[in-house]
Amino acid sequence: MRRLKLELKQTMEMYSNACKEALTAQQKAVELQRWKLEEERRLEEARLAEEAALAIAEKEKARSKAAIETAEAQKRIAELESQKRISAEMKALMETEEKRKAVNALSGTGLRYRRYAIEEIEAATNFFTESQKIGEGGYGPVYNCLLDHTPVAVKVLRPDAAQGRSQFQREVEVLSCIRHPNMVLLIGACPEYGCLVYEYMANGSLDDCLFCRGNRPPIPWQLRFKIAAEIGTGLLFLHQTKPEPLVHRDLKPANILLDRNYVAKISDVGLARLVPPSVADNVTQYRMTSAAGTFCYIDPEYQQTGMLGVKSDIYSLGIIFLQILTAKPPMGLTHNVQRAIEKGTFIDMLDPKVPDWPTEDALVFAKIAVRCAELRRRDRPDLGKEVLPELNRLREHAESHDHYSMFSGYASPSNQSQVSLDEASSSLPHSGESS
């Protein structure tokens, strides 16, 4: 019995130990399961992090590839732009060289004007006496005298005239190489002392005649239409000169002179500019570093942007035409005439010193002038195709009325040489050609 109790006690102790070991094993199994789950979680996080890193790497790779492609495209564009710039610079250099050669040809020994000695001019003007002075401008004074038994006007470069020397040279270059009935004729010059000798224009400037300065009689409407057509013809000649078009840049009534027969001639081309043919043919404008001309007559686009073209002169022409009709100052004239046309009161804008205006023709002329004076260059009409044909029609209508042939000092239009559109398209002769 005692032995059985001892064995039972031993068995109970073994059972107790077995339970404890089983519990310990179970706890270790739980811990192992927890560790396994933790490891699985960590592995999943590592896998997700790896996938995220791979995705970011793919994005960065794609972004890098796009950046490389963009950089290569920019490089190709830059190369093309560089080629274009080099091509444009070469073209500009070629045009500059051509212009230099043309100007050199004009300014060489072949210039067709007589060289006067300063002594001859001093003797003719009585040493520039005030009694023979007939005008004064920004360039300098103008004197009336006789040279070679011919009435002439001598324009003298004032020593302090701004850019006067370059304007003098330009005027010699242009006028010595062109001949046209509506351009003032340069007879000679004294380059050393800045003197230009022109044909004498007995009736002075259009500005003086419109405003009846010096007790001048008012110009009849027939003469005004004829003068307008002559100004347009002379300007078209400048715009169609070869090898390069000429833009006057300073058209105004003071620079339109009238001879003894009231034939209008354009003067003061000292500010004229040669426009490169490629510019004139394609975009009709050329950038200048600074605008030149007279306030109220300057093309607004040219004044703001420096972009010069033949239509820059058309704006000035429109203002001149409006003054021919109204004999009013240029400030705000386009707006006032346009308002009067819209309100039906245009007749009140016409120069009251002319009593017999042909209202319908005057209105047609005014509408042409207003179109010429549009603020935007693209809205202005073409001189040769639109403006001049209408001006010639108005001139023919004026010539059918013989009243103005009786005007003091004016010869009958039948005795005047009429300039056709073909004549207006004459080219600028080279220095080797005869005048």
* DSSP-derived secondary structure for 84-139: HHHHHHHHHHHHHHHHHHHHHHHHSTT--SEEPPHHHHHHHTTTT-GGGEEEE-SS
Show contacts of 190-193: CB within 8 Å, 24+ apart: 190/115, 190/116, 190/117, 190/118, 190/121, 191/115, 192/118, 193/118, 193/121, 193/156, 193/157
Residues with Cβ within 8 Å of 370's Cβ and at least 6 positions away in sequence, in order, are 318, 322, 334, 337, 338, 341
Please say if the pLDDT value at position 277 is more than 70.
Answer: no
Please say if the pLDDT value at position 106 is more than 50.
Answer: no
Region of poorest pLDDT, from 118-127, 154-163, 401-410, 425-434: 425-434
Question: In this structure, is the dihedral angle defined by the CA atoms of residues 220, 223, 224 and 225, taken in order, positive or negative?
Answer: positive
Instruction: Decide if 250 is catalytic.
Output: yes
**CA nearest 215: which of 224, 226, 204, 223?**
204
State if pTM tops 0.85: no
Domain assignments of the chain as residue spans, ordered by start: 108-200, 201-435
* Calpha distance 271→369 (Å, rounded): 23
* Calpha distance 8→288 (Å, rounded): 125
Residues with Cβ within 8 Å of 391's Cβ and at least 6 positions away in sequence, in order, are 225, 228, 229, 232, 368
- What CATH architecture applies to the domain 201-435? Orthogonal Bundle (1.10)
pLDDT attached to residue 68: 92
pLDDT attached to residue 181: 93
Please say if the pLDDT value at position 161 is more than 70.
Answer: no
Q: Mean pLDDT for the chain?
A: 83
Using the structure block, give the residue that is written with the tokens 């070629």. Answer: 94
Residues with Cβ within 8 Å of 150's Cβ and at least 6 positions away in sequence, in order, are 187, 200
**CA nearest 318: which of 361, 285, 366, 268?**
366
pLDDT attached to residue 40: 92
DSSP string for residues in 61-79: HHHHHHHHHHHHHHHHHHH
Query: CA of 56: how far to CAs of 47, 51, 64, in Å?
Result: 14, 9, 12
pLDDT attached to residue 302: 87
In this predicted model, what pLDDT tens digit does every residue of 123-140 receive, in sequence order? 999 999 999 999 887 678
Confirm whether 108-200 and 201-435 share one CATH topology.
Answer: no
SS3 287: strand
Strand stretches in 272-355, DSSP E: 273-274, 286-287, 307-308
- Given the residues 160, 207, 208, 250, select the one marked as catalytic: 250
Question: In this structure, is the dihedral angle defined by the CA atoms of residues 34, 35, 36 and 38, taken in order, positive or negative?
Answer: positive
Whether 377 contacts 309, CB under 8 Å: yes
pLDDT attached to residue 112: 67
At 106, list the tokens: 């004009």
129 C-beta neighbours (distance < 10 Å), count: 10
The highest-level CATH class for domain 108-200 is alpha beta
Average the pLDDT over 254-282 and give the result.
73
